[in-house]
Amino acid sequence: MVAAGELREIVLAAMSSANLTRTADSQMTVADNAPIFGPGSPLDSLGLVSLLMDIEDGLAQMGIQLTLSDARAMSRKRSPFRDVPELVAFMTELLAEPV
């Protein structure tokens, strides 16, 4: 089981990395409670796709294969991509599922 703290580090690292290719006025806030997609975030849907893939790559480095942008994520009432805590909770949930 991967600790929530580790998952958060992977998310934050991917956000920092994404900021390197984003313009000065479209930087994401990199913080434990920062928004990711939606109100308060400069990320558009393409940016989200890209960020999620970077997070997947980060997980792959730890030997974890996970697809974050799947249909279930999209159909939820409350988006798992709205902020860092929601995304970490969503990842934890996916990881807990039997393979």
Question: Can residue 53 be called a binding residue for another protein (CB under 8 A)?
Answer: yes
The piece of 3-11, 25-33, 52-60, 82-90 that touches another protein (CB under 8 A) is 52-60
CA distance 31 to 7: 13
Please tell me whether residue 75 adopts helix, strand or coil conformation.
helix
Q: Are residues 94 and 52 in contact, defined by beta-carbon separation less than 8 angstroms?
A: no
Nearest CA-CA partner of 33 in 78, 97, 88:
88
The piece of 4-12, 26-34, 45-53, 90-98 that touches another protein (CB under 8 A) is 45-53
Question: Can residue 49 be called a binding residue for another protein (CB under 8 A)?
Answer: yes
Closer CB to another protein, residue 1 or residue 39? 39
Question: Can residue 30 be called a binding residue for another protein (CB under 8 A)?
Answer: no
If you ran DSSP here, which 8-state letter would residue 82 be given?
S
